[in-house]
Structure 1
Amino acid sequence: MTSSDNLPLNELEKELLDPNSECYLENLLDVVSALVSDCDFPSAKNSKSVQSFLKKYSQAAKIIESRRTKYNDFELIKVIGQGGFGRVELARHKRTRRVYAIKLMSKQHLLDHSQSGYWEERDVMVKASSEWLVACHYAFLDKDNVYLCMEYMPGGDLYYWLEKYDTFDETIARFYLAETVLALEALHELGFIHRDLKPDNMLLDAGGHLKLADFGSCVRVGEDGYYYCTSPIGTPDYISPEMLSCQAKAGKIGPACDWWALGVIAYEMFFGEPAFYGQSLVETYSRILGHEKSLRIPTDADPISSDTELFIKDLLKSSTTRLGSFDLLTDIEIKLAKNNRAVAAAQQVKSHAFFKSIHWEQLRSENAPIQPVVNSETDTSNINLMKEI
């Protein structure tokens, strides 16, 4: 057999070991485990083909499960988040003694609500190798739940720090907005849109640096950089006008919806509340849809620089004229980004005058302006344990 005869096998091996491949070995092992689990019910066993399948693969599934990471491999330290989907636990791996945040989601809840968010979230964190996105170390499931075992971010979320400070000065705001830009750039380069960017999903590590989290609302875009939206997704205060318009008429949505949310967050950092906050959902949505008239820079707040005001206004525009919109890109910008329009759009945001003092390549190594007090690897003092997630 010549070396050329091994080419198909070598290519398959690459696919099996590549986390970005649809044939990734971990995914295929999940399929075997899930199929055996789903077939192991009295109603399903009436089928002879199911009986044959179980006879052939039940033992293999048991071996797979015995060798793979499972929930019992961890010891609970504390529940650090609770929600309708399940909960988030701070836990320690019994063998390695490393600490993780484990997100448990009820299978039944996901099925009842037709939610595929777990798979999108898992895909993003498994495929990403960015210092700006929260990493997933293990993903597994059992009969009742699916689990995402993630790095623990003891610095808390940006919502916690905004509540503590009320507002940020320009130095603090610029730093964290810049780190968020790099996080969105990494996500968009992977071919995903976040769709639920907000301070709650912007987490700080022990050194005060930011990572983007909670990818359950993410969606993969098509080759043109858009996805077809039939209903709005996201948190009301941060949702973009083009996303809201999908309620009346389905349409294409691109990464610019995340840049809109960044503009709302920038406004909130300086003025203490989201840009289009209303007393009711109807009022909030009305202000977002009428943003050209409803956006106001408060005159009774601490003054902001002209570059800051322009940055906020450039982000809070319609999708075709918004900073970071594909429509504003030149052929040269797209070419410099190796024909990746999402990367070119992020570069356009990074080039704004608001960020002229930012050294993008050195940002992660700089001292963060917020230094959380973290006394141990299991410290939860910066986490709002009462907040529903």
Structure 2
Amino acid sequence: MLKDKLNSQKACKLEDFEIKQKLGQGAFGEVWLAVDKFTGNKVALKQMHKQFIISKGKKEHVTNEKKLLNRAKIQNSRFLLTLYTSFQTINDIYLAMEYCPGGDLREFLEAIGSLEEEEAKLWFAEMIIAVHSLHKLGYIHRDLKPDNFLIDAKGHIKLGDFGLSKQTGTRPTNFGPPVRVNATAAFRVRKKSLVAPLQLRKAYSVVGSPQYMSPEVLKGRESSKGTTPPSKEGGFKLANQQNQGYSEEVDWWSLGCVFFECILGEPPFSGDSVEEVFNSIENWSEVIPETLKLVSDSVTPEFLSLLNGFLSSAKTRIGRDLKFFYCHPFFHDTDWDSPKSFLRLLN
């Protein structure tokens, strides 16, 4: 396998890869399509510029992303992007990751407009498992949006771009090293989790992409008059240190916004400025019921119920328990043990 061959190399360096083309631009550098000269396989090579990272005080972000990807590899998290290897030069840090030729969900939606519920159902299941897997590792993503869900060669979903992720849980030391869990067994409702329970910590920074940010995240932002515009990293200045903080629930809100956009063609919150979007999200208890009422004739009651569960108060929001999704009417005919390929959609 590609991962095994890459890991068998004693030390990777830039000269081991042939750069083919630029795939995208990230907060700290570029992502390139490259071919590993040792195996002949394609990888996504993420290049991050050290000087820029240091100047922006983002060293912790980079370290955090690499740590998360390494932990995901150990746990064999099938719907999280795979890190094959990492190395550095004098000026840059490189992550050689799984290449997803299907592009990202944002590009896919721009090409087709929206998905039918039946078409989206299995992708939604994979996204839910991806987010749940991330939380099991002790992290929240904090920037879930269509751009960060990639489509692999077989048409499956892969969650990526963990630059804004935050570690919110730690495993008790008496549990020993993480247990390697069989991917299929991990999805079964009746199987007990082999992963140690997490001791949760909260996050406080106002980060993310405006249209997908949850009300809890916005509790720490500045007032309308002094709102700091978003940075290239997607973050906003934290002004209210009295903010109660947030945890996993913010990702489930964002996922609900992504599901809404996939089926209805646009996110549930919009505005002519970032401030208008924020105001809309802060008034979600009035906006969401009205919005769901307007679209109720365009979606099934089952999908409407799912959206209501995601776009709700933090205390009642769905997501923490996978069993809820297994039993939800929207997923009544979904095989959670072996999600089917969406390659037919890519064709």
- TM-score higher than 0.5: yes
Q: Give 1 or 2 for the bigger CA radius of gyration.
A: 1
Please list, as runs of the form range in 1=range in 2, the aligned pairs for 1:91-110 lying within 5 A after superposition: 91-110=34-53
Please list, as runs of the form range in 1=range in 2, the aligned pairs for 1:223-372 lying within 5 A after superposition: 223=170, 225-247=199-221, 248=240, 249-295=242-288, 296-297=291-292, 299=294, 303-324=298-319, 345-363=321-339, 366-368=340-342, 370-372=344-346
Q: Match for residue 218 of structure 1?
A: 165
Q: Which amino acid aligns with 1:124?
A: L
TM-score (norm 1): 0.70
Task: Provide Cα deviations, 1:260-313, integer angstroms capped at 9, x if missing partner.
Answer: 011101111121111111111111111111111011026478621111001101
- Quote how far apart the aligned CAs of 1:84 are: 4.4
Query: Of 176, 191, 196, which residue of structure 1 is paired with 2:138?
Result: 191
Q: Aligned pair 1:127/2:71, yes or no?
A: yes
- Quote how far apart the aligned CAs of 1:230 are: 3.0
- Quote how far apart the aligned CAs of 1:133 are: 0.8
Distance (whole Å) between structure 1 residues aligned to residue 133 and residue 205 of structure 2: 25
- Quote how far apart the aligned CAs of 1:125 are: 1.4
Quickly say closer, same or farther: Cα 1:186–1:232, change in 2 above 3 A.
same
- Quote how far apart the aligned CAs of 1:254 are: 1.5
Distance (whole Å) between structure 2 residues aligned to residue 87 and residue 273 of structure 1: 27
TM-score (norm 2): 0.78
1:133–1:183 contact (8 Å) kept in structure 2: yes
SS in 2 for 1:361: coil
Q: Judging by fraction of residues, say which structure has more helix.
A: 1
- Quote how far apart the aligned CAs of 1:369 are: 6.3
SS in 2 for 1:68: coil
Distance (whole Å) between structure 2 residues aligned to residue 230 and residue 186 of structure 1: 22
Mark the runs of 5 or more structure 1 residues left unpaired by the alignment.
1-25, 27-65, 325-341, 374-389
SS in 1 for 2:346: coil
1:155–1:206 contact (8 Å) kept in structure 2: yes
2:139–2:168 contact (8 Å) kept in structure 1: yes
Mark the runs of 5 or more structure 2 residues left unpaired by the alignment.
1-6, 171-197, 222-239
Quickly say closer, same or farther: Cα 1:350–1:193, change in 2 above 3 A.
farther
Q: Which amino acid aligns with 2:333?
A: S
Q: Which amino acid aligns with 1:267?
A: F
Distance (whole Å) between structure 2 residues aligned to residue 279 and residue 316 of structure 1: 22
Q: Match for residue 339 of structure 1?
A: none
- Quote how far apart the aligned CAs of 1:200 are: 0.4
- Quote how far apart the aligned CAs of 1:251 are: 2.3
Distance (whole Å) between structure 2 residues aligned to residue 86 and residue 141 of structure 1: 13
Q: Which amino acid aligns with 1:262?
A: L
Instruction: Quote the sequence identity (%).
Output: 34
Q: Match for residue 86 of structure 2?
A: 139
Distance (whole Å) between structure 2 residues aligned to residue 225 and residue 163 of structure 1: 40
Distance (whole Å) between structure 2 residues aligned to residue 176 and residue 67 of structure 1: 37
SS in 2 for 1:125: helix
- Quote how far apart the aligned CAs of 1:173 are: 2.0
Distance (whole Å) between structure 1 residues aligned to residue 11 and residue 341 of structure 2: 39
Task: Provide Cα deviations, 1:34-85, integer angstroms capped at 9, x if missing partner.
Answer: xxxxxxxxxxxxxxxxxxxxxxxxxxxxxxxx95111111111111112441
